[in-house]
Structure 1
Amino acid sequence: MQAVNEPMADVRDMYMAHTMFRREFRLLPQLVRDVVPGDTQRAEVVANHADTVCHILHVHHEGEDMALWPRLVERGGEETAAIVPTMEGQHHGIEGALAEVTALLPQWRATAQRGDDVAAAFDRLLEKLLEHMALEEKEILPLAEKYVTAREWAELGAHAIANSPKKELPLAFGMAMYEGEPDTIKAVLTHMPLVPRLVMPFLAPRLYASHAKKVYGTPTPPRVGS
């Protein structure tokens, strides 16, 4: 890769996103198991939450497939020749696990029966996801700092915004902000238009707190590592 006269990727937002995924997907299997068979009202709440976080994860990985892996392969030579195909293979495995979950959710939502099958599917998804994120943090993020510019890195966030329902964006950002470092949150906000940049720090945490109260029974669900 030729030297460039622009800033390189600031990958702190990826760690923030990963923390969100670790928290929400670790808590999901037990959320499902705790639903009393036949309680379709509670199943609806949990299933809606599951749909939301599964969609966020799908779009997040879709952005990496489109904007990150090709650049690393093009520019990284031997450094990326082996690890990028591994990442792509893990994405395929995660998408398969997501497909299994999303196939089971509608029937469970409607009946609140056979929740153990849904919870087990989330367990399998979680195992694949944790393995992938750990390897990505160890191998990929240092390469992104070396080979991807800040402008190109911002395309990942732009893809997520463009491919998510607008009404869900403040909640999704609130999920990420919940355990985000203030400096990282501030850096992410700088890429937003003026009005969202001013409103999001106040709106997003409130929306997530309200959402968490409904889903978890508390506005402050267990944090990663707690």
Structure 2
Amino acid sequence: MRHRSLEIIRDEHSSLAAMLQSMRMLVDRGPGDDPKNFFDVLRAMLFYIDEFPERLHHPKETELLFPAVLKGAPDTAVAIARLDRDHEYTETAVRDIQHLLLGWELLGESRRQVFTEAFKKYVDLYLDHMRLEEQEVLPAAEKSLSDAEWKALDDAFEKNCDPLTGKYKPEAMYDRLFTRIVMQAPAPIGLGE
């Protein structure tokens, strides 16, 4: 049976993984000859992560998906506990990384390494987090959730409408954010170099 929420979760993971990989490419290249664009697009991408995955996606997993899976598949307890800890970490870490980026931008090269180390740790954890969720929790969900639980998940996740999945138009207030990301970020997320 096809569950809309699983499709949405996987689409959002895929767009977030692409965003993180684009950001990693930007950070590895550095500001080069266009520091204004470099810092602008990285700030926009970090803001996107804070606005969509952190504020919309993760709460639905923590409050709806994980408890339902844990009830039906108690053997996922260790993975779910780790995923919940990851959600707590990434929610704070994205704001800390935004601050470290601002430090690098305003205070110069002496702040680059601390940003880069925190950013790489964040990206590695995030990618591993999504892998664990897709390999352990989502298959357990497919086997153990009731029709009523799927309905609740489908209804909740259909409200996300993350434009970076390529399936939804951004809300008007996010137009500038998504235009900036798409036009300035490198592939696989954007059209920039």
- When normalised by structure 1's length, the TM-score is 0.64
Structure 2 CA distance for aligned equivalents of residues 112 and 221 of structure 1: 24
| 1:153 corresponding residue in structure 2 | 154
Bigger Cα displacement from structure 2, 36-45 vs 95-104 = 36-45
Structure 1 CA distance for aligned equivalents of residues 105 and 40 of structure 2: 5
Asked if 1 retains the 8 angstrom alpha-carbon contact of 2:50 and 2:95, the reply is: no
Asked if 2 retains the 8 angstrom alpha-carbon contact of 1:25 and 1:122, the reply is: no
2:3 to 9, 25, 28: 9
AA aligned to 2:127 is: L
| 2:185 corresponding residue in structure 1 | 215
Q: Quote the offset at 1:144 in angstroms.
A: 2.4
Aligned residues: 181
Q: Quote the offset at 1:88 in angstroms.
A: 1.4
Give the gaps of 5 or more residues in structure 1.
1-6, 162-171, 178-184, 190-199
Structure 2 CA distance for aligned equivalents of residues 99 and 209 of structure 1: 22
| 1:142 corresponding residue in structure 2 | 139
Structure 2 CA distance for aligned equivalents of residues 209 and 96 of structure 1: 26
- Matched residue SS, 1:68: helix
AA aligned to 1:15 is: R
Percent identity over paired residues: 19
Asked if 2 retains the 8 angstrom alpha-carbon contact of 1:54 and 1:98, the reply is: yes
- Matched residue SS, 1:149: helix
Asked if 1 retains the 8 angstrom alpha-carbon contact of 2:3 and 2:150, the reply is: yes
Asked if 2 retains the 8 angstrom alpha-carbon contact of 1:72 and 1:80, the reply is: yes
| 2:87 corresponding residue in structure 1 | 91
Asked if 1 retains the 8 angstrom alpha-carbon contact of 2:97 and 2:119, the reply is: yes
| 2:51 corresponding residue in structure 1 | 55
Q: Quote the offset at 1:37 in angstroms.
A: 8.6
Asked if 2 retains the 8 angstrom alpha-carbon contact of 1:63 and 1:156, the reply is: yes
2:125 to 128, 134, 137: 128
Q: Within the alignment, does 1:176 sit opposite 2:165 as a pair?
A: yes
| CA deviation vs aligned residue, 1:146-175 (integer Å, no higher than 9, x gap) | 3131333331343x46xxxxxxxxxx41x2
- Matched residue SS, 2:185: helix
Give the gaps of 5 or more residues in structure 2.
none
Q: Return structure 1 stretches of 4+ with deviation > 4 angstroms.
A: 207-210, 217-222
- Matched residue SS, 1:216: coil
Residues 94, 210 of structure 1: CA spacing in aligned structure 2 closer, same or farther, 3 A cutoff?
closer
Residues 77, 45 of structure 1: CA spacing in aligned structure 2 closer, same or farther, 3 A cutoff?
closer
